[in-house]
Amino acid sequence: MAEFSHQGLNLFWADPLVQLGRRVQVLAGPASPANMLRLLCRVGDGPEQAVQAWPVGVDPESGMQIFAADLPECSPTEVINWRPVLQNGIKRADPGVQPVTDSAVAVKPEPRSAPRFDIDATHLARVSIPLADAPVDVGETPDGLRILYPLAPGGTVKGAHINGAIDQVGGDWMRVRTDGIGIPDARIVVTTLDGAKLMAEYSGVVDFGPDGHSALVAGKPPDQVPIQLTPRFLTSDAKWRWVNRLQCIGIGHVTMSSLLVEYDLYALGLQTPGKTGG
């Protein structure tokens, strides 16, 4: 059993060399809905390719998340060399990338006169946004692959500080770079339980994978992709004006097979949300 740990993420897997294409399983921990797992595979001396894994449950003994993936097909004489890569927000565990240890290039510690600023991240809500079944594929433009994802009904915001429904207006005017990174340009409106209207706009990073651009062009996107979003809110409602002062982040994923966006919404900095009417 091979294992690898980095940035608090842990991986356990077996059979790094496989002679026949087949389904494999990887344990990833700690278990989290934000975990995304890919296999980087090489058949013989061919190019490295990414294979998306999907969660299948939790191991009852270790409590780690179980992912499954189908390795590429190959002939009986070929060998597949593969490794798992775990992504959780900005954290990444890749057994093929070793941490820098050379003191000549290592990051020097900050002087004591310049201590780091502590980050205060307050969890505001879990956001769930269904997208319409028929995205508008504008196609390859001078500014990248452009796809419009309109909203479908049923979006929700549920949490200790914000509760409400997402109006079926707006959407995401996505731009996808050739390296598979999507840059969202999204607008949504949240109607809180007490009737306030909160408008949110955000960019961020949607990682479709190294082959994500070509996969989207071919109409075969990966099943799930990790997202890191930067929402900001605006409202005129007096009870909710505290949201106008927030810089937020959203960490989660998009399930492309069902076009469902899910992320946890956090407020960053020293701002403490006040008592809301929601």
Q: Which two tokens stand for residue 62?
A: 């270790």
Mean pLDDT, residues 77-99 taken together: 84
Check residue 16 and give its pLDDT: 53
So what's the pLDDT on residue 109?
54
Largest CA distance in the chain: 70
Task: Name the CATH topology of 122-268.
Answer: Porin (2.40.160)
122-268 has the same fold as 2-93: no
Q: Are 64 and 58 in contact (CB under 8 A)?
A: yes
pLDDT at 1: 76
Q: Percentage of the chain surpassing pLDDT 90?
A: 59
Using CA atoms, how far residue 166 sits from 4, 24, 33, in Å, is 40, 39, 21
pLDDT tens digits along 197-207: 999 999 999 99
- With a cut of 70, say whether residue 270 has pLDDT above it: no
Using an 8 Å Cβ cutoff, are 249 and 227 in contact?
Answer: no
Candidate from 68-82, 155-169, 263-277 with smallest mean pLDDT = 263-277
Tell me if 273 sits within 8 A of 122, measured CB to CB. yes
Domain ranges of the chain: 2-93, 122-268
Question: What's the pTM?
Answer: 0.63
271 pLDDT higher than 50 = no
CA distance 254 to 257: 9
Residue 173, helix vs strand vs coil: strand
* Residues 256, 172: Cα–Cα separation, whole Å: 14
What pLDDT shows up at residue 47?
Answer: 83
What are the angstrom distances between the C-alpha of 276 and each of 26, 124, 244?
Answer: 43, 11, 13
Q: Are 11 and 26 in contact (CB under 8 A)?
A: yes
- CA distance linking residue 262 with residue 91, whole number of Å: 18
What is the bridge-based pairing of β-strands 224-229 and 186-192? unpaired
**Higher pLDDT among residues 175 and 118, named by residue:** 175
Average pLDDT, the chain: 87
CATH number of the domain at 2-93, please? Answer: 2.60.40
Q: Provide the phi-psi class of 51: left if phi over 0, else alpha when psi is between -120 and 50, else beta.
A: beta
